[in-house]
């Protein structure tokens, strides 16, 4: 057992020396670590306080989970494609899939737009609209407008108003749900 622990520690030391060495002659781990700067991931998490809501973002993708009541869940997967961005103002095209879990899971494709503008160096105002209709079977609309205040590169505060309305018909069942109201949130970037 002691021999295995020794070999694992030796392997970790050799790996560290190889990764952090700046040249063949420089195997001082302390010297290599002083210039080491970890890369930040394009990952963020936002938690909102209106209904339990969590938004996970990675690069251009986002996953939004909202819990309405005991038997209603709202899940939205989006892809944002920046069309134009100039001096803190921009336009994004959004496409995604929204899932409504009510008696059965109903995935609905959505399309939309997002407009944003930096009104001060740390304050951004935005509005977004997405949705889709499927005639009498289903429709969904998701609108949001708000402010985002960046405290630093890792933390931001958000506040705004969101309206979600959907109707889903499945056989003899019909589900209507709405969620409207203000929200506040905290966003952290990794």
Residues 104-122 have pLDDT tens digits of: 677 888 999 999 999 999 9
- pLDDT interval class at 8 (50, 70, 90): very low
- The neighbour count for residue 142, using CB atoms within 10 Å, is 25
Prediction pTM value: 0.71
Helix or strand or coil: residue 77? Answer: strand
Structure confidence by residue, pLDDT tens digits, 28-43: 444 544 554 555 678 8
Q: Distance between terminal CA atoms of the chain? A: 38
As a whole-number percent, the residues of the chain with pLDDT over 90 amount to 37
**How far is residue 158's CA from residue 150's CA, in Å, rounded to a whole number?**
9
> Of 14-18, 23-27, 32-36, 135-139, which one has max mean pLDDT?
135-139
CA atoms within 13 A on the CB side of 103: 10
Pairing of the two strands 61-69 and 123-133: unpaired
Structure confidence by residue, pLDDT tens digits, 73-94: 888 899 988 898 888 899 999 9
- Whether pLDDT at 23 is above 50: no
**How far is residue 154's CA from residue 116's CA, in Å, rounded to a whole number?**
20
* Cβ 184 vs Cβ 56: under 8 Å: no
H or E segment and range at residue 104: strand 104-120
* Cβ 15 vs Cβ 31: under 8 Å: no
**How far is residue 165's CA from residue 158's CA, in Å, rounded to a whole number?**
22
Compute the average pLDDT of residues 133-145.
89
Nearest CA-CA partner of 90 in 61, 143, 128: 128
The mean-pLDDT minimum among 49-53, 96-100, 115-119 falls in 49-53
**Which class would CATH give 43-189?**
mainly beta
- Per-residue pLDDT, 10: 42
Domain ranges in the chain are: 2-34, 43-189
Backbone torsion region of residue 181, taken as left when φ is above 0, otherwise alpha when ψ lies between -120 and 50, otherwise beta: left
């Amino acid at each position: 057992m002691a021999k295995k622990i020794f070999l694992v520690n030796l392997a970790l030391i050799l790996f560290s020396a190889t990764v952090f060495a700046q040249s063949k002659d420089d195997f001082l781990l302390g010297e290599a670590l002083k210039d080491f700067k970890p890369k930040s991931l394009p990952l963020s998490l936002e938690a909102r306080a209106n209904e339990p809501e969590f938004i996970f973002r990675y690069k251009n993708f986002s996953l939004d989970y909202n819990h309405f009541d005991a038997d209603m869940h709202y899940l939205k997967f989006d892809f944002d494609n920046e069309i134009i961005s100039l001096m803190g103002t921009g336009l994004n095209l959004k496409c995604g899939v929204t899932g409504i879990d009510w008696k059965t899971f109903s995935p609905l494709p959505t399309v939309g737009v997002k407009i944003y503008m930096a009104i001060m160096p740390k304050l951004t105002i935005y509005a977004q609209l997405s949705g889709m209709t499927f005639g009498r079977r289903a429709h969904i609309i998701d609108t949001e407008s708000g402010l985002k205040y960046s405290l630093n590169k890792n933390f931001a505060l958000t506040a705004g108003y969101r309206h979600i309305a959907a109707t889903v018909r499945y056989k003899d069942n019909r589900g209507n749900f709405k969620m409207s109201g203000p929200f506040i949130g905290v966003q952290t970037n990794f």
